[in-house]
Amino acid sequence: MMTIGFHTDAFNSANWPFEKCLDWAQRNGVARIECGMVDGLHFLQGLGYSPHLSLLDDPALLRRQLDRYGVYFSQIDAAYPLSGEDGPSRGVPYVTKSIAWAKLAGCPCVDTTDGLHKPEGMTDKEAMAAMKRSYQQIVRVAEAHEVIVNIEPHGYFTTNPDRMEEMLAFVESPFLRMNMDTGNTFIAGRDPVAFLKRFINQVSHIHIKDVSKELAEAVRGGSTGIAMSHCAVGDGVNARNIKECIRLLRDAEFKGNLSIECEGQAGPMIEKSLAWIRGVFKELGIKEGKPRKTK
């Protein structure tokens, strides 16, 4: 059984607070939610205009809030780039604090990645060595809390499958795995199906992103990630790849979460994406995990 979820980035432009995202998930029968994590506070969150959470939010109280809606975390997004010069000084403590928070909030995974571009002032070998030291520290904390750390293909190193293989071998641990992203791999000029097939036994979480024809023609092969897809899943040039990726996951008996990443337009675009994915589930005979009933 797979679950369908979404990243609250979908409601950045709508200026929704996190709880309104929970309400949307409950009304649409979506079982899982993923959000960004802020280390500190900013005024948008305080005013109720941000769909993300802060490490200052109490995770036990957040867990009660999710219980009331019958919706649960699939992953916390702590993807501060770890490949740059400030990866060890800023990225590592951010990720490790997010891991401890995730454990108390009942969240099984924390997402990480590298930077979009080749690190300035460092050779590839130096950057990889620094990231290895960072992930060794991060995974030590992850093992203690029994929270999975995922590496997402989103940057200069991680969208290269050979580099991704090296990174997943930084530490021999069941708590270091991969967050597949269908949109980032495609926009980087890769074949998402081949990318997933290579790592399918190491994947614990999926980002589902389509890509518009216009964006693909403009930057495919010249970029490594998409900040936000302004294309409903199923409407873009990556739809066939996404469907085949879901088929591969079914055949591999994947039991994790597919997290939709697209502009929500305050509901309509992400609802269209949700309907398309559910149609693929029905066609492929996949049973969708549903939210728990609340009292």
What digits encode the pLDDT tens for the residues 80-94?
999 999 999 999 999
Q: DSSP of 166-208, one letter per residue?
A: HHHTSS--TTEEEEEEHHHHHHTT--HHHHHHHHGGGEEEEEE
Is residue 136 pLDDT above 80, yes or no? yes
- Scanning the structure block, which residue is given the tokens 């495919």? 220
Q: List, for residues 172-189, the tens digit of each pLDDT value.
A: 999 999 999 999 999 999
Q: Angle 118-158-101 (CA atoms, 0-180°, nearest 5)?
A: 110
Return the sign of the alpha-carbon dihedral for residues 119, 125, 131, 134: negative
Domain boundaries, the chain: 2-289
User: Containing H/E element for 131?
Assistant: helix 124-145
What stretch of H or E contains 257? Answer: strand 257-260
Average pLDDT, the chain: 97
pLDDT in the model for residue 234? 98
pLDDT tens for each residue of 85-128: 999 999 999 999 999 999 999 999 999 999 999 999 999 999 99
CB-CB contact of 112 with 152 (8 Å) = yes
Interval 244-260 mean pLDDT: 98
Q: What is the DSSP code string of 5-35? A: EEEGGGGTTTT--HHHHHHHHHHTT--EEEE
- CB-CB contact of 75 with 99 (8 Å): no
**What's the rounded mean pLDDT across residues 39-53?**
95
pTM: 0.97
2-289 placed in CATH 3.60.21.10:
no
Above 60 in pLDDT, residue 295? Answer: no
For residues 42-47, average pLDDT: 93
The neighbour count for residue 257, using CB atoms within 10 Å, is 27
